[in-house]
């Protein structure tokens, strides 16, 4: 008997329920339910954030940690005119895809940890399918959605730990906040983190406690150390430590660094970032180099990249190497091609492509990132790549006016996708070769509405950069019409 896959179950549900959507939306307005009510729900599919979706009297109901085919007793946690949110009280019928999660489910970062890994990969292929069905760019039904490229070992991949540290009773806690709260959960183990990053932040937490260096108190807006950030180079094992502080002062910093040298020899770079006052942002604008090297170095596909504390690098080095290899194949550059690397960061993508191109020009709005990109080009002996401070939508027309017109373009925007002006610039200049690296299926599908007017979408290749989470990453290869 042929096994029915996770995606096939999702597709069958959508086919059966497509024509019922309007009736269900109308009927949902009349459903009477209150917070605290207990409901029995059958889960029909997964939403793009990994939450289970079912219906109570035709009203859509979102239930975290529930899977298609499961029947669950739930307690209502929120009610709005269009939807219900609920939490599982008891699973009455389990999905065959359910496994025991390795991580604390009270916090974020592992919302799919209780889903079998091959089903996670199938879900991530379905995430882009759902987004395309919502926005419906030209030819969306015929786009080649390639199976998600997963990891042989989907654990220990996160090369950076970025955790708040707070006083809890007699001891300091370092970890993550409970979902939808500011209650910090101390986390000795996190399966997705590189073990070195956890070792460093937890040992530094111990040193802060031992040296009685005050940590931040949110209620009083007082204290010093807010957040511990450790980034490890997978290729060298070097660790970079940054202490985010509430002021320019860092009491007993010399003693702290001496103990770090003694007990954490893998830490080769220590910085302090100043982020004063109450804010949801982790980083402040000022970073001070305290000790050791100003950078650590990561090697990806034979290229070395120097990383300052705020330099962006994908959190999964193994999958990053695969991502860039997929971009190289998709662009299919020649030595006659002029390539633009938009949203360049420290130049990891453009410099990985420089061997295949004639010339590379990249840009970023963060001056430190541009400096790092040019230094990385020099360090790798790359003479055909230059990086500039500015926005792509301003620099691309300026260069074209000067007679430098790109043949190829690679974009790797933030989760918000392409800005309106850059999207318009791309459609005006129409480079022959074009690859879009996306970390958000919804904003990608939205951008494809315009881009598909002038480009065919050859394929979308999903890549699992963040196992155990619902986050999606993919590469789009375009051909100009």
- Contact by Cβ (8 Å): 137, 449: yes
DSSP characters over 12-80: HHHHHHGGGHHHHHHHHTT----TT-EEEEEEEEE-TTS-EEEEETTEEEEETT--TT-EEEEEEEEE-
Q: What is the DSSP letter of 376?
A: H
**Which distant-in-sequence residues (6+ apart) come within 8 Å of 78 by Cβ?**
35, 84, 85
- Contact by Cβ (8 Å): 176, 193: no
Do the bridges between strand 59-63 and strand 71-79 make them parallel or antiparallel, or are there none, so unpaired? unpaired
Catalytic member of 311, 439, 460, 463: 439
Backbone phi, then psi, for 38, in 5-degree steps?
Answer: -105, 130
Tokens for 183, please give them.
């209650």
Cα(110)–Cα(192) distance, integer angstroms: 8
Among this protein's residues, is 439 annotated catalytic? yes
Q: How long is the chain?
A: 481
Rounded to 10 degrees, what is the CA torsion of 473, 475, 480, 481?
-60
* DSSP-derived 3-state class of residue 479: strand
Q: Where are the alpha helices (DSSP H) in 232-290?
A: 253-263
Cα(99)–Cα(212) distance, integer angstroms: 42
- Contact by Cβ (8 Å): 20, 32: no
Nearest to 95 by CA among 55, 58, 63: 63
Q: Where are the alpha helices (DSSP H) in 49-172?
A: 117-135
- Contact by Cβ (8 Å): 341, 386: no
Tokens for 154, please give them.
């989907």
470 alpha carbon, distance to own chain's centre: 10
Cα(130)–Cα(48) distance, integer angstroms: 8
59: β partners? 56
Cα(133)–Cα(139) distance, integer angstroms: 11
- CA-to-CA dists, residue 35 to 32, 38, 39, 77, 351, angstroms: 11, 9, 11, 5, 53
**Which distant-in-sequence residues (6+ apart) come within 8 Å of 450 by Cβ?**
423, 427
- CA-to-CA dists, residue 34 to 78, 181, 184, angstroms: 8, 22, 29
- Contact by Cβ (8 Å): 243, 272: yes
Q: Which residues are catalytic?
A: 439
């Amino acid at each position: 008997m042929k096994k029915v896959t996770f995606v096939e179950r999702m597709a069958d549900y959508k086919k059966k329920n497509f024509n019922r959507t309007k009736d269900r939306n109308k009927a949902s307005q009349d459903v009477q339910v209150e917070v605290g009510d207990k409901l029995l729900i059958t889960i029909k599919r997964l939403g793009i954030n990994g939450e289970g979706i079912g219906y109570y009297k035709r009203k859509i109901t979102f239930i975290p940690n529930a899977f298609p085919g499961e029947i669950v007793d739930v307690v209502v946690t929120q009610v709005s005119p269009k939807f219900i949110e609920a939490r599982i009280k008891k699973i009455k019928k389990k999905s065959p895809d359910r496994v025991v999660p390795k991580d604390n489910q009270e916090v974020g970062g592992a919302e799919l940890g209780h889903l079998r890994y091959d089903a996670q990969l199938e879900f991530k292929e379905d995430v882009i399918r759902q987004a395309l069905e919502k926005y419906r760019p030209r030819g969306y039904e015929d786009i080649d959605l390639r199976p998600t490229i997963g990891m042989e070992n989907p654990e220990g991949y996160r090369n950076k730990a970025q955790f708040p540290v707070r006083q809890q009773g007699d001891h300091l806690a370092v970890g993550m906040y409970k979902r939808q709260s500011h209650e910090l959960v101390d986390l000795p183990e996190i399966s997705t983190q590189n073990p070195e990053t956890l070792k460093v932040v937890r040992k530094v937490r111990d040193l802060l406690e031992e040296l009685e260096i005050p940590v931040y108190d949110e209620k009083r807006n007082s204290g010093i150390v807010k957040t511990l950030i450790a980034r490890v180079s997978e290729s060298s094992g070097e660790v970079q430590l940054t202490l985010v502080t509430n002021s320019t002062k860092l009491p007993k910093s010399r003693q702290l660094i001496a103990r770090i040298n003694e007990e954490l020899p893998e830490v080769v770079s220590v910085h302090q970032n100043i982020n004063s006052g109450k804010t949801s942002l982790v980083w402040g604008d000022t970073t001070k180099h305290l000790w050791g090297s100003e950078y650590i170095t990561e090697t990806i596909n034979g290229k070395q990249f120097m990383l300052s504390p705020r330099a962006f690098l994908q959190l999964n080095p193994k999958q990053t190497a695969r991502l860039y290899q997929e971009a190289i194949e998709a662009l299919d550059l020649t030595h006659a091609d002029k390539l633009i690397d938009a949203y360049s960061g420290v130049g990891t993508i453009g410099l990985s492509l420089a061997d295949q191109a004639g010339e590379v020009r990249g840009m970023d709005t963060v001056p430190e990132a541009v400096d790092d990109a040019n230094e990385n080009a020099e360090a790798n002996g790359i003479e055909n790549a230059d990086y500039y401070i500015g926005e792509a939508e301003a620099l691309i027309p300026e260069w074209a006016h000067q007679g430098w017109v790109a043949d190829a373009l690679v974009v790797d925007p933030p989760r918000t996708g392409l800005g309106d002006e850059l999207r318009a610039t791309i459609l005006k200049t129409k480079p022959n070769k074009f690859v879009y690296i996306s970390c958000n299926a919804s904003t990608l599908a939205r951008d494809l509405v315009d881009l598909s007017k002038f480009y065919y979408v050859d394929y979308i290749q999903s890549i699992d950069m963040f196992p155990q989470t619902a986050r999606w990453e993919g590469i789009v290869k375009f051909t100009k019409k």
